[in-house]
Amino acid sequence: MADNVWYYAQGDEEKGPVTTADLKSMAAAGKLKPDDLVWKEGMPDWSAASTVRGLFAHPPGSRPSPPPSWSGAPAARSSEENLSDSGGPPPTRPTNLLADLARHCPPRLAGRVLLFCGLLLVLWAKGCDSLGRRYVARVQARPVLEENEFERTYAVRLSALRSDRDIYLETDAGERDPKVLTRIEDDIEKLTEKKQEEEEQLERGEWGRLKAIAADAANNNAVSAYYREMAFLFGSMVLVCGLLGVAFTSDGAERWISYIMLAIITFSLYIGGAAFLHLP
């Protein structure tokens, strides 16, 4: 073999340059696998190391058929052609997304990811549901607070006038001035009329606006509750799938804890119906 310059790739990591002798030594020591990719200048693309004759020993009379190279490129050429050129940087190696995902995302990791995502969806759906109800209650309480404040203000003023009238009526009849009593009665009547007029104006204005906002908030929350319920159902299914994945790929206490959690969640959500006793 000519002492050429090679590059090789193991997983997502590209290494090199190395000489042909180094490449053969790595293959003999088991550091270079037949399915690892190799390249040197003159080759059309990265190819499996098993396609380079002379790197791996095979039984007499047997010759492995070279697998197709990356990106649909032709199979590697003969060893004489493969080892005749040298030098130059390697081309960009295409990546197989599905293969990389399967290699770097084992079932156990996938189960944990599903468990985490499902838990987030469930917490998000129920958290938004609780916040939606609290928001509706807050908006509906605004007009009630405004009305109560209005009633308290006039109640204090009317109570003061009535108290003055009662105190004046407790004095001796000979000392009473009819004009004073008439003035107090007129003040009470005027204040009552003013209260009624202002109350009607507020009903047509600020109070009416607050009540309309409260009604719209309740309706909007009822519409959004449907989507939150769908998110909760989807999240609970993802959570159950994640627990199944963790249980099937774990052992010991972790497996039994996953099974127990799976039983509790399944019963509380679907069999017992605890999740559906109250609409969002």
CATH classification of the domain holding 11: 3.30.1490.40
Domain assignment present for residue 121? The answer is yes
Per-residue tokens: 47: 């190819």
How far, in Å, are 153, 164, 171, 173 from residue 160 at the CA level?
A: 11, 6, 17, 22
For residue 112, the model assigns a pLDDT of: 84
Same domain, 131 and 4: no
Same domain, 120 and 245: yes
Picking from 36, 54, 72, the residue at the C-terminal end of a domain is 54
Same domain, 154 and 31: no
Total number of domains in the chain: 2
Domain assignment present for residue 64? The answer is no
Domain assignment present for residue 39? The answer is yes
Domain assignment present for residue 147? The answer is yes
Q: How far apart are CA 164 and CA 193, in angstroms?
A: 19
Q: Look over the chain and give the mean of its residue pLDDT values, rounded to a whole number.
A: 78
Residue 75 has pLDDT above 70, yes or no: no
Picking from 39, 54, 69, the residue at the C-terminal end of a domain is 54
Domain assignment present for residue 166? The answer is yes
User: According to DSSP H, which parts of the chain are helical?
Assistant: 20-29, 79-82, 97-104, 107-169, 178-204, 206-249, 253-266
Q: What is the mean pLDDT of residues 21-48?
A: 85
**If pLDDT is split at 50, 70 and 90, which confidence band does 266 have?**
confident
Write out the residue range of the structural domain in which residue 14 sits.
1-54
Q: What is the mean pLDDT of residues 121-146?
A: 91
**If pLDDT is split at 50, 70 and 90, which confidence band does 216 have?**
very high
Domain assignment present for residue 185? The answer is yes
- 3-class secondary-structure state, position 195: helix
Same domain, 219 and 148: yes
Read off the pTM.
0.48
Domain assignment present for residue 173? The answer is yes
Same domain, 22 and 130: no
| Contact predicate 136/221, CB 8 Å | yes
**If pLDDT is split at 50, 70 and 90, which confidence band does 62 have?**
very low
Domain assignment present for residue 93? The answer is no
